[in-house]
Amino acid sequence: MAKFDPVRKQHVGRVESGAGSHTHYMGKRIQNELIDSISSKILDTIVEEIKRCKYFSIILDYTPDLSHKEQLSVIVRIVSLEDKPQVKEHFLGFLVAEQSTGERLTLLILKRLGELNIPFEDCRGQSYDNGANMKGENKGVQARLLQQNPRAFCVPCGAHTLNLVVAEAAKSSPDAIGYFGYLTKLYKLFSASTHRWDILLKHVKTTLKSWSETRWESRIKSVEAVKYQAGQIREALLEVRETTADPVVRVEAQSLAEEIGSYRFIICTTIWYDILYKIQHVSKLMQSPSMQLDVAVDLLKKTGDSLTCYRRTGFSDAQTTAKEMCEEMNVESVLKQKRLRSTKRQFGYESPDEPIDDALKNMEITFFNVVVDTALSSLDERFQHLEEVNNKFGVLINFPTTSNEELSKHCQTLSSALTHDGQPDIDGRELAAEMQNVPHLPSKKMTNMELLTFLHEKKLTEMYPNLWVALRISATLPVTVAAAERSFSKLKLVKTYI
């Protein structure tokens, strides 16, 4: 390398001649020593910033690495106060978890914070995925940490909530399960052969997409490719049927071409695209590191309202879109009733439901209503816990429109929630008095971060100390574990590719 670098060439020359210091930084271990030194310095800087900010939240998630060892990713979320209030999420490293029980993971986390001299008493939030050993209310990590610090509010991951909503909806109906099964067969048929993939490329602009088994909302890409190119994909399947010499592939291509050209499949495609589009957009927003609890709750509420509205008109709208797509493909827009398997009737006190002869009505009841209702029910169930935490801090943004009596009540509730061992973070009475005397705000509806920035820019932090502290704690609470998921991408890059 010295041949191409004059500075290095001069250095190597001094080392070879024996001139100068014996420390020449050309040993076989020097790279790791330099990396460790840089890592240590960065970590010290992060820890110093965490201590300056005082309040922090932890984000935890774990995954097996290439050597089949559980790697626990530790992220700390703070509100930095250097120039202006800013949310930061710092990665503190991976911890090898020999056992993934709630007890062992809790000890591992507390040990790491102790090594870095970060007091767990200043933790005000914790967020995990939906694993039982993490979020379990009895023996999970969140329960054990709450025993030591009741002020470490557990906030469920909003992005995982939406992911589970879609997953449960996709498994709620036989038609829903069958639909995604056809998409899988479609992708596998073309991707299994370069010749068949070339045929597909001749007909479409956007290729078919595979999906992650765990990130259900990402399936919108695979549904989108079919929704806007159903006719072209059908033509590609017919060409595969005519050109292939494999009888199995010929039958599979014919079967898929018939299915894609069916009125039932096109209605399912339209409905799933509409549902996934509503959820995927919000899911992307929820993964932002700067996402705030109050904004996340508002987004989830709007998603629920949007699905409720879609429940009323979505099926009729899907029929209209499906008919237009059928006309473009020159196929009949007729829904045929599926034949039901005859089963032996057993004696029972309750009579069975009367069969529905209208195929469209039957599809609306057994597919559309079931899928949307399951999504709404799942969203409401998981939304409750997030809203409970948000309600404790709701007074921080609703105080301009709250009466003095209600304001004092909510401030005392928040003060009690932020008190442990007789040590409160804020004084409820003083907080209510501060809110009643806040100067004119630019807007009556401001987010926590906007109000925090307003107090900082107007240099009012010392005049409103309780409001300042409460807003910082609220902004510190995480609403997603996306930062931990991103660290796994780097882990895979290092361990698998490099």
Backbone phi, psi, residue 294, to 5°: -65, -35
Beta-strand pair 123-127/86-97: unpaired
Q: What SS3 state is found at 247?
A: helix
Please give the C-alpha separations between residue 36 and each of 43, 48, 117, in angstroms, as whole numbers: 10, 18, 19
Residue-wise DSSP of 163-208: HHHHHHHHTSSHHHHHHHHHHHHHHHHHHT-HHHHHHHHHH-SS--
DSSP state of 25: S
Please give the C-alpha separations between residue 125 and each of 56, 70, 276, 382, in angstroms, as whole numbers: 7, 23, 30, 18
pTM metric for this prediction: 0.76
* CA-angle at 299, arms to 295 and 304, nearest 5°: 150
Decide if 455 contacts 469 (C-beta within 8 A): no
Backbone phi, psi, residue 375, to 5°: -65, -45
Residue 282, both tokens: 């919000």
Residue 410, both tokens: 């909510």
Give the span between the Cα atoms of 16 and 57, in whole angstroms. 53
Q: What SS3 state is found at 466?
A: helix
CA gyration radius for the chain? 29
Decide if 173 contacts 366 (C-beta within 8 A): yes
In tens digits, the chain (498 residues) has pLDDT values of: 888 999 989 888 888 887 766 777 777 788 888 889 999 999 999 999 999 999 999 988 877 777 778 888 888 999 988 788 888 989 988 888 887 787 888 888 899 999 999 999 999 988 877 666 666 666 778 788 888 888 888 887 765 666 667 777 777 778 778 888 888 899 999 998 999 999 999 998 888 887 665 565 567 788 888 889 999 999 999 999 999 889 999 999 999 999 998 999 999 999 988 988 888 778 777 777 777 777 888 888 888 899 899 999 999 999 999 999 888 888 888 876 655 454 455 555 454 555 555 788 888 888 888 888 888 887 887 677 778 888 888 888 888 888 888 889 999 999 998 988 888 999 989 999 988 888 888 877 788 888 888 889 888 889 999 999 999 999 898 887 777 777 877 787 777 766
pLDDT at 340: 47
Give the span between the Cα atoms of 109 and 115, in whole angstroms. 10
Domains parsed from the chain with CATH numbers: 30-155 (3.30.420), 162-331+361-391 (no CATH), 394-476 (no CATH)
Q: Count of alpha carbons within 13 Å of 289, Cβ hemisphere only?
A: 16
pLDDT at 217: 55
Decide if 260 contacts 237 (C-beta within 8 A): yes
Decide if 149 contacts 120 (C-beta within 8 A): yes
Convert 121-159 to b/e letters by CB count within 10 Å (16 or more is b). ebbbbbbbbebebbbeeeebbbebbbeebebbbbbbbbb
Cα 450 to chain centroid distance, Å, stands at 24
User: Would you give the end-to-end CA distance of the chain in angstroms?
Assistant: 22
Give the span between the Cα atoms of 24 and 333, in whole angstroms. 79
pLDDT at 480: 77
Give the span between the Cα atoms of 15 and 457, in whole angstroms. 56
Decide if 153 contacts 126 (C-beta within 8 A): yes
What sign for the dihedral angle of Cα 14, 18, 19, 25?
positive
Residue 317, both tokens: 């709208």
Q: What are the residues whose beta carbons fall under 8 Å from the beta carbon of 118, sequence distance 6 or more?
A: 47, 50, 51, 56, 76
